[in-house]
Structure 1
Amino acid sequence: MYTVTGEVEQARKAALEVLQHNRRGPCAGLPRTAGWGYPEPYTRDMIFTFFGIAVSGDEQLIASMRRVLEVLARNQTERGHIPSLAHDPENLGASDTTPLFLVGISIYRQLSGEENFLQEAAEKALTWLYYQSPGDRLLVAQLPTSDWRDEQWVLGYGLYVNTLVYAGLRMFDRHQRADAFLQEMRHFTITSNIMHRHVHEGLTVKNKPYYACWSYKIYSSERFDLLGNSLAILTGIASRSRAERMIAWIEEECSVMRERGDLASELPPNFFPFVKPGDPDWRRRDEEFNMPGDYHNGGIWPFICGVYIAALVATGKYQLAERKLHALALAVKPSRAQHLDYGFNEWLRAQDALPKGQNWQSWSAALYLYALRCVEERRTPFFEDMRKRSSREQ
């Protein structure tokens, strides 16, 4: 079994310090998204922190989970949509907040034993999601910049959001719908200029081990989305054999990027190959916000790396997961514009691994704790049964 090293243990203590510092902020007493830069309680950030808080054993932090979920339920729209800011019912339009809400409720239920916690709000959220498919089928669609990537276009059926929808269906025992959902995921993206009648697009990429970033009719992006694909492994959407091939492909591609100077870390970027000026999907705003290797266009995001480490554990790649955890413990140390022992920064630039986002980011700290627990126990809390069910449908 895994023996925790000094670096890894020091980072664990620092992560708990970050989450305690951020536990209460200026907005309705809800947690802060980051120590200084983001005082607001962003819904998606808050719920991703549940992964780590739930395995922390810290009663104060666990109580903050309940408070976030209850406020979100109070601010849920009449039709079931969950706001982007937990305390602001008018801040709407995100594609990932509603399925994340379901995931958050389930994690809290598993932790607390309260089987019917926020049942009415959960039913409303499920109903909302059922109406998000323009083809009135199963995969849900989104508009550009409506998920966690506010500076990147994901159009139509996005992988990341649909992995969350799938998780929500499994967690709330909608197994028949989830089984059918898996079948839709297996449809290939459409590579022809003609969409034939009764042919439905999916997110499987021909001759590649990973899933497309997004797909809609004859359009798709086959650039690699680390968060979406890691969640596909964690939830069991990807079969064990596909997951193994995908991980081998990720590690090989990252090795090539390191050789040519595009990657200065042992950790993978959130998105690659990077979009470059002149590419069809390059946009003018990218010059200011999303240069190659920056932010959503290939930045290294500690919270996503935590999910990737969990995916490695889910696939039985324990030694690789241990190496990546040690790399993550080193990556969360640098801070930007502040003197801190541990920065737990939002993201790092791929080419030099320098922190460029906000320090003491809650989800960076929380997903470190979750990744560490996964490596220590060689299991992935809250997702083990889901993968077993998924594997029966592969």
Structure 2
Amino acid sequence: MSDLNYMKAIELLQRASSSEGFLASAQNISNYKRVWARDGVICGLAALASGDEVLIGTFRKTLETLATNQHRNGTIPSNVMTNGDVVEVSYGGLAGRVDAVTWFIIGICQYAFYKNDFAVVKKYKGNIQKCLRLLEAWEFNNKGLLYVPLSGNWADEYITDGYVLYDQLLRVWALKSYNHFVNDKSIASKIEIITGQIEINFTPNSVGEKYHERAYNEIIMKNFMPCSFSPAGYKTQFDAFANSLALYLKIGSEEFQNAIVDYSIALKNERLLHLLPAFWPPIEETDVDWTLLKNNCKYEFRNYPYEFHNGGSWAMVNGFFGLALLSQGKSAEAIEVLEAINKINAIENYSFYENFNSKTGEQNGVPFCAWSAAAAVMLRQSIDADFNFLI
């Protein structure tokens, strides 16, 4: 594989580095010229995979910025912007960002694991404990699954709400990462409870008391886990990020994991870019959820069919899909995903666009998007250097 693609990705991560941590984009766009929790941690994971000590130092600054600006109730900032002595902290726009909390825990623990330094976890133990208590509170009914508001995670203009699969899986990864260091029986038990609830409520023909038995029985569970459910019922779109995390964490039976892999590869191969869309199928104007989708935007509407979250393809999401394929022993398929990521990242002289129309291949969103570069770095190093994260 060409080293040029990798070098360009590293260069962009360097350009997106600041004294406070990783910025979402190297482009001078106000809302992206901030240290974002999820973007920053994902870029930090790429920094660890790269072994570049300067980039790893930027990851450390990212984590420090997030920890310093943690809310007293435990909330981790969605993003932080510093301008001289002025610090602007956002904990979310139309709703708070649940995944900022879990990504922060993952980031601390992955950094400590890479450094083989328990002192890092000890330093941030108070911050992590606040996060864990907050996550417990966000269950609301104390039954194991987080209840996430509409617009409450990275898919902040999409239709998922309630018991969102992606957030449950990130919580499992966060708890497993933290428990690697503290070896706490209560955390181990919590991981089992959450994992059990995911399998009971998001996989077909499961045994156990469902959160919403009637709604579960009304849907046809396909060859993947549905994206979310709430008191109003299930939303059954395929969530590429969430199902990639499920494969990476090896949740669900081996037979069902194989079904997810087969479905995902077939869907990828059907698309023009040979990359997974973020959510599938797209919501069209004639669909019942169109009004909900259309109204869930703070500024301009971006979720046209096949674009953005509504069926658009993201390098970042496909980076995690590639990691999932590797974890499932699908090395050749993971290499194909990396080649497709490199191809879209290279468009317009390596502009690293945020996402692409999965039907036309046209670029969308912000250029020089740092986590588009991060995807290429993480996956390339996992393939070529056998780099592994803590899971």
* Residue in structure 2 matched with residue 363 of structure 1 by the alignment: 371
Provide the C-alpha distance between the structure 2 equivalents of 1:218 and 1:188, rounded to a whole number of angstroms: 15
Q: Residues 144 and 314 (structure 1 numbering): CA distance in 2 closer, same or farther, change over 3 Å?
A: same
Candidates 250, 261, 274, aligned match of 1:247: 261
1:277 equivalent to 2:282? Answer no
Aligned to 2:330: 317
Map of 1:308-347 to 2, 5 A cutoff?
308-335=321-348, 341-347=349-355
Match of 2:137 in 1: 131
CA deviations 1:282-304 (Å, max 9, x no partner) are: 12348932111010101110011
Report SS of the residue matched to 2:266.
helix
Q: Find the aligned partners of 2:231 and 2:295 in 1 and give their Cα distance.
A: 26
Percent sequence identity over aligned pairs: 24
Contact 1:215 1:221 in 2 (8 A): yes
Alpha-carbon deviation of 1:243?
2.1
In the superposition, the TM-score normalised over structure 2's length comes to 0.86
Partner of 1:104: 107
Q: CA deviation at 1:253?
A: 3.3
Provide Cα deviations, 1:145-173, integer angstroms capped at 9, x if missing partner. Answer: 12111211211011111111111111121
Q: 2:7 aligns with which of 4, 13, 20?
A: 13
Tell me if the contact between 2:20 and 2:58 (Cα under 8 Å) persists in the aligned partners.
Answer: no
Per-residue CA deviations over 1:254-286 (Å, capped at 9, x if unaligned) read 44xx4xxxx321111111011001111112348
Structure 2 alignment gaps of length 5 or more: 82-87, 180-186
The answer for the alignment partner of 2:43 in structure 1 is: 49
Superposition deviation, residue 239 in structure 1: 4.1
SS at match of 1:312: helix
- Distance apart, 1:107 and its partner CA: 0.8
Deviations 1:191-218 (A, max 9, x none): 9xxxxxx642499875423111001235
- 1:1-394 equivalent positions in 2, closer than 5 A: 5-6=1-2, 9-24=3-18, 29-36=20-27, 37=29, 38-87=32-81, 88-92=88-92, 93-117=96-120, 118-173=124-179, 174-188=187-201, 199-201=210-212, 207-255=221-269, 258=270, 263-283=271-291, 284-285=294-295, 288-335=301-348, 341-377=349-385, 381-383=388-390, 386=391
Q: State the alpha-carbon separation in 1 of the partners of residues 100 and 50 from structure 2.
A: 23
Asked if the contact 2:76–2:91 (Cα under 8 Å) also holds between the matched residues in 1, the reply is no
* Higher helix content, 1 or 2: 2
Q: Does structure 2 conserve the Cα–Cα contact (< 8 Å) formed by 1:76 and 1:89?
A: no
CA deviation vs aligned residue, 1:119-156 (integer Å, no higher than 9, x gap): 11111111111111122121101111121112112110
| Structure 2 contact 21–59 (Cα < 8 Å) conserved | no
Q: Give 1:190 deviation, angstroms.
A: 11
Say if 1:251 and 1:189 are closer, same or farther in 2 by CA, change over 3 A: closer
TM-score, structure 1 as length reference: 0.85
Aligned residue pairs total 357
Q: Please give the secondary structure, in 2, of the residue aligned with 1:213.
A: strand
Name the one with the larger strand percent. 2
DSSP 3-state at the match of 2:40: helix
